[in-house]
Amino acid sequence: MYTLRLIFKNTMRHKLRTSLTILGLVVAIFSFGLLQTVVDAWYAGAEGASNTTLVTRNKTSLVFPLPLSYQARIRAVPGVSGVGFANWFQGTYKDPKNFFAQFAISGETYLNIYPDYLLPPDERAAFLRDRKGCIVGRKLADQYGFKVGDIIPLKGTIYPGNWELVVRGIYDGKQSTTNTATLFFHWDYVNETMKKVAARRANQIGVYVVQIDQPENAAAISSAVDKEFANSLAETLTETEKAFQLGFVSMSEAIVVAIRVVSFVVIIIIAAVMANTMAMSARERLGEYATLKALGFGPGFLALMIFGESLLLSAFGAAIGIVILFPFAAFLGKVMGTMFPVFEVSQLTVIQQVLAALAIGSVAAIAPTVRAVRINIVDGLRSIG
């Protein structure tokens, strides 16, 4: 207890220097955590993917569709327990800047594959009954003020025309990481219209989502599905949902890498600043360390004093940086809206922040400790004043 009090008093000996050092640590740990949270948000779709769901798309490119007739053939592949499908819609809501994900889906078969979308039974039934019905995620509903019964007008881009959808339900996420910033509506509504205005585009699917019985069978089932359509006019590529999501992330991988690099550069810079602070403190106390050695205190005690002060500074800075990160991330998540459907501080990020703080405190104390331990008593006493 006495040693802790002594460490604390040493830490507060130069209040301005201590305050500025802690402020720098707060900024560094906070920035590191925020940048890691941005990276996590980028990978949120892939991390939240089910290990029992496969995605089948056109082998040539995602922009090319697949025939509706493939559904029954995929369902017949051994190990497949369910098949749904979805089309990216990309309609404009009132203003082009109001961007959010919209998918035309196969209705009940699609929802059955994603039990993480929690929808009240009455709202689910209402959606399935209404051909023009849609369901929206809670985050999307909160951002635009959508309520059950509202009519959402969309101006089609991929599918030209004016489309009116009726909100029949608002779904929540089973997990905090579940995407609740998406609008789903019936593919049949789009398909019926295409049959009238562009018959060649009817009965075409963007991707099939395939539910399998056992995750360890994913590779074998993927291969079986693709063999089913080998040498056809629309060959397929089947992969796990996580691999499918990571394919999108890889398009912007350079940005993600840059963010990671910047986050670690911030830690390296503050470690250098912290090391300089500890070196200044140790230089001022060479006489004190020499006196302690003359009184019989060993190298271990001197190391404890220096490392204790450095780690205490790091702990204060890290604690404040971690605490303010949570409300700021929540605020930023609301401001960004559907840009990042999932934006929250993960447990891993907090652990990384703590480890970064420990690393900063430890590294900064090494050089001053070595100097204090090696100082000759006579030389140290001469440095007084």
**pLDDT per residue rounded down to tens, the chain (385 residues):** 667 777 777 777 778 888 888 888 999 999 999 999 888 887 776 667 778 899 999 999 888 999 999 999 999 999 999 999 999 998 899 888 888 899 999 989 999 999 889 999 999 999 999 999 999 999 999 999 999 999 999 998 888 889 999 999 999 988 877 889 999 999 999 999 888 888 888 899 999 999 998 889 999 999 999 999 998 889 999 999 888 887 777 666 778 788 888 888 888 888 888 888 777 776 777 677 777 777 777 778 877 888 888 888 889 999 999 999 999 988 888 877 767 778 888 889 999 999 999 998 888 888 888 877 777 776 656 665 4
Within a domain: 51: no
- Within this chain, do residues 157 and 294 fall inside the same structural domain, yes or no? no
Within a domain: 239: no
- Within this chain, do residues 113 and 12 fall inside the same structural domain, yes or no? no
Residue from 351, 268, 341 nearest 33 by CA: 351
Residue from 116, 119, 103 nearest 178 by CA: 116
Q: 234, 262, 287 — which closes off a domain?
A: 234
| Two structure tokens written together for 304 | 């404890």
Q: In this predicted structure, what is the pLDDT of residue 251?
A: 67
**How far is residue 259 CA from its own chain's centroid?**
13
Amino acid sitting at position 67? P
Coil, strand, or helix at residue 178? Answer: coil
| Alpha carbons 90 and 93: distance in angstroms, whole number | 10
Name residues whose C-beta falls within 8 Å of residue 253's C-beta, 6 or more positions apart in sequence: none
- Within this chain, do residues 109 and 41 fall inside the same structural domain, yes or no? no
Q: 203, 234, 265 — which closes off a domain?
A: 234
How far separated are the first and last CA of the chain, in Å rounded?
A: 30
Q: In this predicted structure, what is the pLDDT of residue 210?
A: 95
- Within this chain, do residues 375 and 313 fall inside the same structural domain, yes or no? yes
Query: Which residues are 54's β-sheet partners?
Result: 210, 240
Within a domain: 53: no
Contact of 179 with 45, CB cutoff 8 Å: yes
Residue from 131, 126, 104 nearest 170 by CA: 126
- Only one residue has tokens 């509202």, namely 150
- Within this chain, do residues 42 and 73 fall inside the same structural domain, yes or no? no
Q: Say which DSSP state 201 is in.
A: G
Q: In this predicted structure, what is the pLDDT of residue 382?
A: 65
Within a domain: 155: yes
For the chain, where are the alpha helices, taking DSSP H only? Answer: 2-11, 15-42, 44-47, 70-75, 108-113, 121-129, 138-144, 187-197, 218-228, 241-249, 253-284, 286-294, 299-336, 347-374, 377-382
| Alpha carbons 164 and 187: distance in angstroms, whole number | 14
Contact of 260 with 349, CB cutoff 8 Å: no
- Within this chain, do residues 113 and 1 fall inside the same structural domain, yes or no? no
Query: Which residues are 155's β-sheet partners?
Result: 92, 162
Within a domain: 86: yes
| Alpha carbons 98 and 153: distance in angstroms, whole number | 12
Contact of 371 with 278, CB cutoff 8 Å: no
- Within this chain, do residues 127 and 195 fall inside the same structural domain, yes or no? yes
| pLDDT tens per residue across span 74-107 | 999 999 999 999 999 988 998 888 888 999 999 8
- Only one residue has tokens 């699609």, namely 110
- Within this chain, do residues 207 and 351 fall inside the same structural domain, yes or no? no
Residue from 202, 209, 247 nearest 86 by CA: 209
| Alpha carbons 107 and 124: distance in angstroms, whole number | 10
Range of the domain at 353: 1-46+252-383
Within a domain: 216: yes
**How far is residue 249 CA from its own chain's centroid?**
11
| Two structure tokens written together for 263 | 């986050």
Coil, strand, or helix at residue 80? Answer: strand
Within a domain: 243: no
CA angle 353, 250, 209 (to 5 degrees): 105
- Within this chain, do residues 178 and 291 fall inside the same structural domain, yes or no? no
Q: In this predicted structure, what is the pLDDT of residue 155?
A: 92
- Within this chain, do residues 209 and 91 fall inside the same structural domain, yes or no? yes
Q: Phi/psi at 233 (nearest 5 deg)?
A: -70, -25
| Alpha carbons 213 and 221: distance in angstroms, whole number | 10
Number of domains in the chain: 2
Name residues whose C-beta falls within 8 Å of residue 86's C-beta, 6 or more positions apart in sequence: 103, 104, 105, 106, 110, 187, 205, 206, 207, 209
Within a domain: 301: yes
- Within this chain, do residues 147 and 222 fall inside the same structural domain, yes or no? yes
- Within this chain, do residues 127 and 269 fall inside the same structural domain, yes or no? no
Name residues whose C-beta falls within 8 Å of residue 151's C-beta, 6 or more positions apart in sequence: 164, 165, 166, 167
| Alpha carbons 284 and 14: distance in angstroms, whole number | 11
Name residues whose C-beta falls within 8 Å of residue 141's C-beta, 6 or more positions apart in sequence: 147, 167, 170
